[in-house]
Amino acid sequence: MKENLTEAIAKLKKEKNAVILAHYYQEPDIQEIADYVGDSLGLSQKAAETNADIIVFAGVHFMAETAKILNPAKRVVLPDLNAGCSLADSCPPEAFAQLIKEHPQHVVITYINCSAEIKAMSDLVCTSSNALQIVNSIPKEVPILFAPDKNLGKYIQKKTGRALLLWDGACIVHEAFSIEKLLALYSEYPGSKIIAHPESEAHILDVATYIGSTAGMIDYVRSYPSETFIVATEAGILHKMQQEVPNTILIPAPAEEDNSCACSECAFMKLNTLQKLYNCLLYETPQIEVSESIRQRALMPIERMLELSK
């Protein structure tokens, strides 16, 4: 069945001049069929440069929205419209607009994990790959409002020494790691390196050897293939990471919850399946739509980010 679906998707993709973009957190079957697998920055860059007529975005809603903002004339489809994001949901547009109104002198920088409405209120967008670069592009005397991820914001503050006005949002996946279980796991592998995504809480980052985006974490592991790694981010990354370093021991960082994978998984990311991907490509639905007024305002901070990230 899986082989038939894979063949059918490949055939449809060719017939419809479609491209499949997938995040590292997608299930392995989807990563294998994708034309490009990457982090939010890489996916945004690929979405900006594609010549495809249809973009199948195997990720979550805000990612597909970003692709639509960059490609208004193309059809952008998402395998499951319910694939949302706890971090994006933590920042309601009305409340965020009020905060901006209360701090008119602040430059507004938003993490890409937010809705199109939030991006439309922003001066700059960033990803975990380029957050430090984007923040450092603003003169030090200019105050910055950073949203929605408070953990990434605290990490940026620590690295840059700048005081940021932080929105109180977080990713439930990256806040699910257990420091007690992590340290116990480390005691079992005392020579291992802990690598973590900056959306994680400070106590996790404090024990990490390396902190970076999903793409950065893969690059880091590739540089030390003889090491053992405990990986503190969504467990879907382990598929691509293991392909890059097949002989390296990779262990998912443990979550507070006692679940079957003993790791942290994003339920939203896992809503997408190979069957749903086939259906959305076949029927070209559900399509992502962004109003033109919001799209134009959201496009400017995204384009500024892409220009600074060249």
Structure tokens at 290: 């962004």
Yes or no: say if 100 and 108 are a contact pair by the CB < 8 Å rule: yes
The candidate with the shortest Cα–Cα distance to 151, out of 177, 133, 125, is 177
Query: CA 229 → CA 69, 178, 190, distances in Å?
Result: 37, 16, 10
Plot region of 256 (φ>0 → left; ψ -120 to 50 → alpha; else → beta): alpha
Residue 144: the pLDDT is 98
Gap between the terminal Cα atoms of the chain: 42
SS3 23: strand
Rounded distance between C-alpha atoms, residue 309 and residue 154, angstroms? 22
Is residue 3 pLDDT above 90, yes or no?
Answer: no
At 296, is the pLDDT very low, low, confident or very high (cuts 50, 70, 90)?
very high
Query: pLDDT digit string (tens) for 47-65?
Result: 999 999 999 999 999 999 9
Rounded distance between C-alpha atoms, residue 175 and residue 114, angstroms? 17
Rounded distance between C-alpha atoms, residue 239 and residue 30, angstroms? 11
Residue 46: the pLDDT is 96
Residue 263: the pLDDT is 81
Is the preceding omega at residue 148 within 30 degrees of 0, hence cis? Answer: yes
Yes or no: say if 86 and 148 are a contact pair by the CB < 8 Å rule: no
Query: pLDDT digit string (tens) for 150-208?
Result: 999 999 999 999 999 999 999 999 999 999 999 999 999 999 999 999 999 999 999 99
The candidate with the shortest Cα–Cα distance to 285, out of 28, 62, 115, 54, is 54
Yes or no: say if 301 and 126 are a contact pair by the CB < 8 Å rule: no
Query: CA 45 → CA 38, 287, 292, distances in Å?
Result: 10, 20, 21
Residue 1: the pLDDT is 66
Query: CA 257 → CA 27, 86, 175, 200, 261, distances in Å?
Result: 20, 17, 11, 16, 10
At 301, is the pLDDT very low, low, confident or very high (cuts 50, 70, 90)?
very high
Q: Is 2 exposed, middle or buried (0-12, 13-18, 19+ CB in 10 A)?
A: exposed
At 310, is the pLDDT very low, low, confident or very high (cuts 50, 70, 90)?
confident
Spatial neighbors of 260 by CB under 8 A, at least 6 apart, are: none
Query: pLDDT digit string (tens) for 226-245?
Result: 999 999 999 999 999 999 99
Rounded distance between C-alpha atoms, residue 169 and residue 259, angstroms? 25
Is the preceding omega at residue 286 within 30 degrees of 0, hence cis? Answer: yes
Rounded distance between C-alpha atoms, residue 163 and residue 218, angstroms? 30
At 261, is the pLDDT very low, low, confident or very high (cuts 50, 70, 90)?
confident
Is residue 277 pLDDT above 80, yes or no?
Answer: yes
Q: Is 44 exposed, middle or buried (0-12, 13-18, 19+ CB in 10 A)?
A: buried
At 259, is the pLDDT very low, low, confident or very high (cuts 50, 70, 90)?
confident
At 288, is the pLDDT very low, low, confident or very high (cuts 50, 70, 90)?
very high
Residue 233: the pLDDT is 98
Written as one letter, the residue type at 266 is C
Residue 159: the pLDDT is 97
Yes or no: say if 189 and 230 are a contact pair by the CB < 8 Å rule: yes
